[in-house]
Amino acid sequence: MDLTNDIRGSVILTDTESRILFASRGVGERTGFDLPETIGRRPSELWGGGMERPFYARMWRLITKGVPFAESVRNHRKNGDGFETPLYIAPLRGEDDVWGYLALQPDEDTAGFREEFFQASAADASPTRLQDLLEGRFGWKTGERAERRSTLFDLLARTLVDPVRERFHARVEDAELVRRAQGNSEAFSSLVAKYHGTVRRYFRHRLSDPERAEDLAQETFERAFRALPGFQMSNASYQTYLLRIAHNLLVSEYRRAAPPIIAEESDRQAWMTRLEAKDEVERAMAELEPGDRETLQLFYGEGFSVRDISRRLTISENAVKLRLSRARRRIGERMRREG
């Protein structure tokens, strides 16, 4: 069951370390950060951090004990504009401890909602109270009743977290592997094992010398390893990052190498022109809105059909076509300006 598109208002579900597991469309409308940019990140890394330190210390002291929290906060949008907004945080308590948090902002914040929130998220409240709040104020309707806390957690996981996790599985998994490698350099071998074949194929398909292709694949991982301490996951998988390094190495290789090393191509200048054009496209793509960029990458980079992308991103096929058309137009405009 996937109810991610049914949610109204701003709903964020995080783990106990404040990493976002689910964010509704309302979050993007309020902050400017789309879903691909938020998953696995902390609100403080994106739009938060506008309050004094004692504010956050008090907030964490309460919610880690399972006490609900409600205050007005100063945040900033992706474009840098500041805004003030009410923030309601409901700890999700298990039998013994807190396993996550719900951060809620209804479309209409009223005194009635504040009272309803505290009643629904109180330590002794029945889980059906919180379910009623989510259904009535935010449109989360599962057709099931959560008489126990474990049932409520399962419903949240199945209807909100799991669909997002499936969509961003590679990136979420990579983020965990990167965190482990940053804590223990030997764990970097897991990333090498996962992506060595992909990087090697990248070079083998573009170079006629297998040994040189293997050398460049190794150099790709060496560069990634040296950059590991300061690396931060973005809204892409680690594969995208590695292939960016690989592309830069390939460009340097083409510039240094004699023409025979280039598979099925004797005109070195033609290859250089092709690579430079590709660089322009990549610079133009970097300026696209995240949703448009992701759609374009899925369609052209990974070969998904419009229907597949529609299902994967949980948007209509017309919306996919609109994103593709808009992205192509903007890239064309950027390249004409540079030309």
pLDDT given for residue 235 in this prediction: 62
Query: Options 1.10.10.60, 3.40.50.2020, 1.10.10.10, 3.20.20.150; which CATH number does 282-339 get?
Result: 1.10.10.10
Q: Where are the chain's structural domains?
A: 10-167, 168-266, 282-339
Cα–Cα dist 322/318, whole Å: 6
pLDDT given for residue 280 in this prediction: 59
**Lateral strand order in the sheet of 69-76:** 20-23, 10-14, 98-105, 82-93, 69-76
Q: What is the mean pLDDT of each run of 10 residues along the chain (339 residues)?
A: 82 92 91 84 89 93 93 91 92 82 87 90 90 92 87 90 81 85 91 89 83 92 93 77 88 67 46 50 73 79 72 83 86 69
pLDDT given for residue 300 in this prediction: 67
DSSP codes joined into one string, 266-310? --HHHHHHHHHHHHHHHHHHHTS-HHHHHHHIIIIIS---HHHHH
Is-contact 199 242, C-beta < 8 A? yes
Name the DSSP letter for residue 32. S
DSSP codes joined into one string, 139-200? ----SS---SHHHHHHHHIIIIIHHHHHHTHHHHHHHHHHHHHHH-GGGHHHHHHHHHHHHH
Architecture, CATH, for domain 168-266: Orthogonal Bundle (1.10)
pLDDT given for residue 281 in this prediction: 63
CATH topology assigned to domain 10-167: Beta-Lactamase (3.30.450)
pLDDT given for residue 262 in this prediction: 43
